[in-house]
Structure 1
Amino acid sequence: MSLRLRMISLLTMAALPTACSLVPAYQAPTPATPQHWQAALPHAGNTADLVHWWSQFDDATLTDLLQAAEHDHPSLEKAAAAIREARAAITSSKAAGLPALTGNASDIRNSSNSLQHTPAATTRSAALDASWEIDIFGAVRYATESAQAKAEAREGDWHNARVSLAAEVATDYVSYRACQQQVAAYQAELVSQQATVRLTETLTNAGFNAPADANLARATLASTSATLTAQQESCDLTVKSLVALTGLDETALRAKLNSGKADIPAPAGFAVTDLPAAQISQRPDVSIAERTLAAAYADIGSAEADRYPRLSLLGTITATATGGASATTWSFGPSLTAPLFDAGKRRANAEAARARYDQALATYKQTVRSAVEETEQALVRLESASQREQDARTAAANYRAYLTASEQLWKSGGMNLLDLETARRSAISADLNVITLKRDQVNDWIALYKAFGGDWQAVPAPTTTGTTSSSKEAKQQ
């Protein structure tokens, strides 16, 4: 075998995936999560109930709003575009380890203006240049691993955007329904107070009550009317927020809201008793942090490989024709590029890559801690709201009974107007507290869903090259 053939054989063997590894294989860290949740887990069941969780609300309007938001929202479109960019980077990284072929051609007409006339001539040429970097030290492989991990992190961004968007839409929808119930409560009190004002004015004009009683009745009525206006403003602001989240026309959105259930939606149950604490790793932000960590680790390998020589195979074939003469030349052989002196630049780059990895590791640990904290807090708030709701309902029922008795007593002259209005304020405050607690309890369910990361792994990230068509077709989880 000739020396050239032996060299080609050796270089081809070097190109096989047996290149030496400059850093150990990446090992994903184990999330530092507790063995069990410290806060109480509500209800009973298993993790399968996390799947299709939004369907447990049994609210067609909420489902429509969730689908509208996912169908067309800038945050999802931005995340999907970032995925396409990251996947293109993977292709680019892989291409660096494959043979490249470049062709060029020219057709040049030339002549000389010397004393001895030379006829014009045409020179035609064509050439093919080939190159192939032999990935001996894994520079291409590490770059590809980094690009792959970054792409997976961008997919996590898309899933995170979906979970956050769904939670935000549901929270605003629940707040709107609660707001409408509060408006209804104030309207009912306004009707009652209007009747009180009419009766008080009649008694005052007849001389049975002091003028101050009429002033107090009118002042209370005006105060309730102002509160009602402020409450209606809050509802309108929530509608504006839903318009921005869903992209729906406000007129169409209001019609949809008015045709739906007026009650505050609530899930039939969110069974998480059997969910292990380590399941926190399904959260998109935790997954993103881990994939970012993997990319930083691969970057260490790339930086280390840059400190070693690069070996490439180069080849060229050129054909030239001028007039009736033609010639063909070719060349082929290895090319070795080795860093001899760079004043420590490549070593510093490798050290910087390690420092970035340490930063990514710290970020990952902090993300896991924050995820555990958020989940524990959501569990505590949910348990607290559940316990307080029953007491609040008992208080509201008794305050309402006391108000009814007080109204009868006031009409018979056994109670002054100030005491009656005090009883009225206590009753409406108790009613509003029940509505608020019910709203908060449902929002705590939503926060817990978000804290567990939803079921984001069940839906693939968009794969099309256009807009977020995959996200538009995906159903809410």
Structure 2
Amino acid sequence: MKLFHRSLVASAALTLAACATTAPPTPVALQAPAAWQAPLPHQGSLQALAQWWTRLNDPLLVELIASAQTVSPGLAQAQSRVAQARASQVASRAALGPTLDGQAQASRGFNEQLATLASTAQAGLQARWEIDLFGANAAAASAAGHRLAGAQALWHEARVSVAAEVAQQTSSLRTCLAQWALAERDAHSRSETARLSTLSE
């Protein structure tokens, strides 16, 4: 009988131990080199990189990029993913703390037994706090924070991608216009040369 109780206690302990989650390994701090190949044009400042196109001193390009970013569906999608990840992070953090639920109800009706109007009111309050014994809620909150950081990085990537595409297309258009103006001047020069050649004959 003692053997049965001991084996029952041991199996219960093993069952509970199987439910435990292990903490994620602590990240190893790796030293990155100071510079890879060449100095960065923004000197490593992410703030300067966020609006790199304003440093070109081209107000039209800045306006075009701002307009493109407001109507870009890819950027809007990335922005909605950031909002969704932020809401998920708030919800997962809320699971770590206590909850308080309240409800109230009131009714008024005719009581047939008393032959009069009767009013009833009820109110209830319920508080609850679930202890995060195995760390699942803390792990979910941490994962939600990382998902938010990833969504924000993708949003910045979408912004820079739209800005780069607009800058490239604007530069291509200006190059074409400059070549067109050069071709017009060349055609005018050739026709003037031909006119002068016919006059000298």
Measured after TM superposition, the shift of residue 27 of structure 1 is 2.6
Measured after TM superposition, the shift of residue 58 of structure 1 is 4.1
Question: Any residues of structure 2 matched to 1:235-250 within 5 Å, and which?
Answer: none
Q: 1:28 to 1:184 in 2, by over 3 A?
A: farther
Q: Alignment identity in percent?
A: 33
Q: 1:78 to 1:145 in 2, by over 3 A?
A: same
* 3-state secondary structure, aligned to 2:145: helix
* 3-state secondary structure, aligned to 1:87: helix
**Residue number in structure 2 paired with 1:382:** none
The CA distance in 2 between the partners of 1:133 and 1:195, in whole Å, is: 90
**Residue number in structure 1 paired with 2:27:** 27
RMSD: 4.0
Measured after TM superposition, the shift of residue 142 of structure 1 is 1.5
The CA distance in 2 between the partners of 1:46 and 1:138, in whole Å, is: 44
Measured after TM superposition, the shift of residue 31 of structure 1 is 11
**Residue number in structure 2 paired with 1:48:** 43
Amino acid at match of 2:24: P
Q: 1:158 aligns with which of 155, 160, 165?
A: 155
The CA distance in 1 between the partners of 2:24 and 2:62, in whole Å, is: 48
**Structure with the greater relative contact order (CA < 8 A, sep ≥ 6): 1 or 2?**
1
The CA distance in 2 between the partners of 1:177 and 1:77, in whole Å, is: 28
Are positions 1:168 and 2:151 aligned together? no
Q: Is residue 53–residue 163 contact of structure 2 (8 Å, CA) maintained in 1?
A: no
Question: Any residues of structure 2 matched to 1:26-425 within 5 Å, and which?
Answer: 27=27, 37=37, 48=43, 51=48, 53-54=52-53, 57-69=56-68, 72-74=70-72, 75-107=74-106, 109=109, 118-119=113-114, 123-195=120-192
Measured after TM superposition, the shift of residue 183 of structure 1 is 0.3
The CA distance in 2 between the partners of 1:92 and 1:49, in whole Å, is: 34
Q: 1:182 to 1:73 in 2, by over 3 A?
A: same
Amino acid at match of 1:99: P
* 3-state secondary structure, aligned to 1:119: coil
* 3-state secondary structure, aligned to 2:129: strand
Amino acid at match of 2:22: L
Q: 1:170 to 1:93 in 2, by over 3 A?
A: same
Q: TM-score, normalised by structure 1?
A: 0.30
Gaps of 5+ in 2: 1-19
Measured after TM superposition, the shift of residue 86 of structure 1 is 1.7
Q: Is residue 89–residue 141 contact of structure 2 (8 Å, CA) maintained in 1?
A: yes
Between the two proteins, the alignment pairs up a number of residues equal to: 172
* 3-state secondary structure, aligned to 1:191: helix
The CA distance in 2 between the partners of 1:194 and 1:111, in whole Å, is: 106
* 3-state secondary structure, aligned to 2:43: helix
Q: 1:45 to 1:153 in 2, by over 3 A?
A: closer
